[in-house]
Amino acid sequence: MLTAMHKQLLNDYQQDFPLSPTPYQDIASSLGVTEEDVLLAFNELADEHFISRIGSIIVPNHIGVSTLVAMAVPVEQLQSIADIVSRYPEVNHNYERENRFNLWFVMIAKDDEYLQSVIETIETESGFNAMQLPLLADYFINLGFEMDFDD
């Protein structure tokens, strides 16, 4: 069960987590609780998988290169092809979407040459074309969002 403090931690610290020597103490001070309370609450949120981590979201293509890739795979082969794709460490998200292009994954590598070689290998191993859709411009990257806890 989420307490009021859990909800505050979920909502208010997605963007600007304190960059100070004692971030949890800073949060505790602003919430009027103890540092121990905050640490315990974050551990609970992580244990219950409400948060995946406290970490950073990096702008794509500034550190290494990345691309979104789409494949059109017959439904009965989807799981086996997805398994092939997921085995590559360069693939970090891999999911099904409702479309004729039904397998979508994001790849990251240190440079373009290496990225292209891995994509070719995946095409060969899977037997399907990989449609590359690299980012050309990001108008807005904000994976943080305000949650509506009421409904």
Partner 1 sequence: MIDFIDRQLIELLQDGLATVSRPYALIGQQLNLSEDEVIVRLSRLKELGLIKRLGVIVNHRKLGYCANAMVVFDVPDTLVEQIAGHVSQFSFVNLCYLRPRRGEQWPYNLYCMIHGKNREKVLQQLDHLISSCGLSSVNHEVLFSRKCFKQRGAIYKADSEPGKV
Q: Which of residues 9-48 bind partner 1 (CB under 8 A)?
A: 9-10, 13-17, 19-25, 35, 39, 42-43, 45-46, 48
- CA separation, residue 150 to residues 27, 41, 127, 143 (Å): 24, 21, 47, 21
Torsion angle (degrees, nearest 10) of CA 138, 140, 143, 147: -160
C-beta of 27: minimal distance to partner 1 in Å? 10
Is the Cβ of residue 110 or residue 120 nearer to partner 1 in the bound state? Answer: 110
Euclidean distance between CA atoms 106 and 86, whole angstroms: 10
Contacts of partner 1 in 71-90 (CB under 8 A): 82-83, 85-86, 89
**Number of residues counted as binding partner 1 (CB under 8 A):** 77
49 Rama sector, left if φ>0, alpha if ψ -120 to 50, beta otherwise? left
Least distance to partner 1 from the beta carbon of 106, Å?
A: 8
Contacts to partner 1 from residues 89-148, by CB under 8 A: 89, 91-99, 101, 104-106, 108, 110, 131, 133-148
Identified binder of partner 1 from the candidate list 26, 29, 37, 54, rule CB under 8 A: 54
Q: State the number of CA atoms in the 13 A half-sphere of 125 facing the CB.
A: 15
State the minimum distance, in angstroms, from the CB of residue 37 to partner 1.
12
Task: Tell the smallest beta-carbon distance from residue 138 to partner 1 (Å).
Answer: 6
Smallest distance, partner 1 to C-beta of residue 69, A:
11
Q: At what angle do helices 35-47 and 23-31 cross, to 10 degrees?
A: 100
The sheet with strand 131-133 has its strands ordered as 103-109, 65-71, 131-133
